[in-house]
Amino acid sequence: MNPLNLSDLVERYISYRQSLGERFYSNAFILRAFARSLGSQGKVGDVRAEQITAFLNGTGSLTNTWHYKYGALNGFYNFAKSRGHVTEVPLPTKRPKRLPPFVPYIYSREELRRLLDATGDYQRGESSLAPFTFRTILLLLYGTGLRDGEVVRLNQADVDLDNSLLTIRHSKFHKSRLVPFGPRVSQSLTEYAASRTAPVTKSGEDVPFFTTCKGTRVILNTLQSHFRRVRARSGVQRSDGASYQPRLHDLRHTFAVHRLTSWYQQGMDVQKLVYQLSVYLGHAHLADTQVYLSMTPDLLREANARFEFYAKTGEQP
């Protein structure tokens, strides 16, 4: 068998995984970066263990990214070995301990107001994203718990303003779902749709719902970059010693925690409703939603109060 270039085999492996129905975006990004780091003409069988270790370690401090890289490379090399391109998997046998799990940031309602207030004057010079567009996106993220990637992929046909309903197509786990929204979100989306820059698309392309000042689709990296500027301007930051600051995606976690807290305060059956919330959020497993039940002091206080009432009276509050 003629030895393949590393980059060629990487592309074969990516195509193979995607043919199984996987999106395989993150691992594909890692593997292509790995191939580039060793040169486009490098042969897969010539890669040395120290080169792999250097790629895994990177140039900064050790983070859990090491383990993500390891997982991607491990899958690739097992694929290569099974097809006779290498005789062994040249990955380190000892792996560093994983760092403590990432803790999402739950915004208070006062912090949410500060973020929204900061959308009006955060810009410096020209920007591709109008403040009104950015404010509408923030309201939608908090009001529905959508993933930030789901928002930028929304097409005009996916937003049913008459019935207050979003269609989220082929999301994280290749599933589509319907997401109803309330009157406040409906008002914001309706006002935005009436005043946004008209979409500019080529023939046959989907028409985006959220557009830049030039009428093109909003790009996720641009949205996240704008958010970091707004967050800094609003003065919202972590005070728990974590090295990372609150993210745009944390609006999704905030939506879930605030919804659960509200249900507890209303005396509703949270253990039953958490199933509905899981479907609404598009989670693949109920455990992904249940993690929110122990995320904030407010939520714990509400849960503890209900349990104490039940323990004393034997009745549901």
Asked, for residue 49, whether it belongs to a domain, the answer is yes
Is-contact 244 134, C-beta < 8 A?
A: no
- Burial (0-12, 13-18, 19+ Cβ within 10 Å), 138: buried
pTM of model > 0.85: no
Asked, for residue 192, whether it belongs to a domain, the answer is yes
Backbone angles phi, psi at 178, to 5 degrees: -100, 135
Asked, for residue 104, whether it belongs to a domain, the answer is no
pLDDT digits 0-9 by tens, 244-275: 899 999 999 999 999 988 888 888 888 888 88
Those residues whose C-beta lies under 8 Å from the C-beta of residue 39, and which sit 6 or more positions away, are: none
Q: Quote the domain boundaries for residue 147.
A: 109-234
Is-contact 180 165, C-beta < 8 A?
A: yes
- Burial (0-12, 13-18, 19+ Cβ within 10 Å), 203: exposed
159: helix, coil or strand?
strand
Residue 252: per-residue pLDDT: 94
Residue 103: per-residue pLDDT: 81
pLDDT digits 0-9 by tens, 123-180: 655 568 899 999 999 999 999 999 999 999 999 999 999 999 999 987 665 678 899 9
H-helix or E-strand containing 167? strand 165-168
Asked, for residue 95, whether it belongs to a domain, the answer is no
Residue 282: per-residue pLDDT: 87
DSSP designation for 46: G
Please list the ranges in the chain whose pLDDT falls under 50: 307, 309-311, 316-317
Asked, for residue 220, whether it belongs to a domain, the answer is yes
CATH of residue 129:
1.10.443.10
Is-contact 92 50, C-beta < 8 A?
A: no
Residue 292: per-residue pLDDT: 78
Asked, for residue 242, whether it belongs to a domain, the answer is no
- Burial (0-12, 13-18, 19+ Cβ within 10 Å), 261: buried
113 and 226 inside one domain: yes
CA 182-188-190 angle, to 5 degrees, is 95
DSSP designation for 179: E
Tokens of 34: 């790995």
215 and 297 inside one domain: no
Asked, for residue 244, whether it belongs to a domain, the answer is no
Asked, for residue 74, whether it belongs to a domain, the answer is yes
Catalytic positions are: 147, 172, 249, 252, 283, 292
CA separation for the pair 83, 106 (Å, rounded): 47
Domain count along the chain: 3
CA separation for the pair 291, 71 (Å, rounded): 24
